[in-house]
Amino acid sequence: MEGWGPIERKDKHPAAANHRRKDDKMTTKTKIATGLATMAAVVALPAAAFAATATSTGTLAPGALSLTTSAAPTFSATLDGTDQTKTYTVPTVVTDSRGSGAGWNLTITSTQFTTGGATPSTLATNASSITGVANSCAPGSTCTNPTNSVSYPVGVPAAPTPPTAVKYFNAATSTGKGKFNNTPSVDVFIPADANAGTYSSTLTLSAISGP
């Protein structure tokens, strides 16, 4: 109708209108919260993983038990009318690379000290004795140090022909694995009535399996 302005609609129930507005706000908040939760879930999803396994196998072949030396030991004395004792050492290398832990022992025998010739002078067959042995792990080797049960001194057997060898150092079972510098010290008894001359003796040293 002419002259009439816009008709303003009034809600007959103001409380209901307020309730609807609150519901609308709650719905919006719920939608936002749900959206954030969904985004968080997407971000938290682990990346796809692809794994493989490989078994590595190594075979360790056993080595050997050995004793080597390049020593040419010497000693000297000046006769002075008294009994004397002189000492020399025999540097050796003992290697146990068998990987068994069986242990080992070292033995020694010798020929009698003699000047040789048609009418030789000699030292007594019991002139030599081992007074101790220095043992250390060789450079470049990881060792299980030997447990030695030999007591000193140990007489070095001697005769024109080498007699039965005797044990002068050992490594108990499960010890002595690796490479070692092993050096026995040998005392030689020289009596006051010994004849002057150059004496020699041949040592035989061996490494034997088992303590």
Query: How many residues does the structure list for the chain?
Result: 211
pLDDT at residue 45 in the model = 57
Backbone phi, then psi, for 92, in 5-degree steps? Answer: -130, 165
Compute the distance between CA of residue 157 and CA of residue 111 in angstroms, rounded to an integer.
8
Question: Which of 183, 189, 127, 182 minimizes the C-alpha distance to 159?
Answer: 127
| Residue 27 in this model has a pLDDT that exceeds 70 | no
**AA identity, residue 82:** T
Backbone phi, then psi, for 65, in 5-degree steps? Answer: -100, 130
Summarised one tens digit per residue, pLDDT across range 149-206 is 999 999 999 999 999 999 999 999 999 999 999 999 999 999 999 999 999 999 999 9
pLDDT at residue 14 in the model = 55
Summarised one tens digit per residue, pLDDT across range 49-83 is 889 999 999 999 999 999 999 999 999 999 999 99
Reading the block at residue 188, the tokens are 């030689």
| Residue 139 in this model has a pLDDT that exceeds 70 | yes
pLDDT at residue 49 in the model = 81
Q: Are 26 and 18 in contact (CB under 8 A)?
A: no
pLDDT at residue 1 in the model = 46
pLDDT at residue 161 in the model = 97
154 pairs with which residues across the strands? 130
Q: Are 158 and 125 in contact (CB under 8 A)?
A: yes
- Model pTM? 0.76
Domains along the sequence of the chain with CATH = 65-209 (2.60.40)
Compute the distance between CA of residue 31 and CA of residue 12 in angstroms, rounded to an integer.
30
Reading the block at residue 107, the tokens are 């033995």
- DSSP label at residue 193: T
Report helix, strand or coil for 171. strand
Question: Which of 65, 66, 136 minimizes the C-alpha distance to 101?
Answer: 65
pLDDT at residue 18 in the model = 54
What's the whole-number mean pLDDT along residues 139-146? 98
Strands 84-89 and 178-190: antiparallel
Compute the distance between CA of residue 208 and CA of residue 166 in angstroms, rounded to an integer.
11
Summarised one tens digit per residue, pLDDT across range 6-25 is 545 555 555 555 555 555 55
Reading the block at residue 50, the tokens are 């692809």
Q: Are 204 and 109 in contact (CB under 8 A)?
A: yes
Compute the distance between CA of residue 189 and CA of residue 86 in angstroms, rounded to an integer.
7
Least confident of 24-38, 104-118, 144-158: 24-38
| Average pLDDT of the chain to the nearest whole number | 87
Compute the distance between CA of residue 186 and CA of residue 152 in angstroms, rounded to an integer.
11
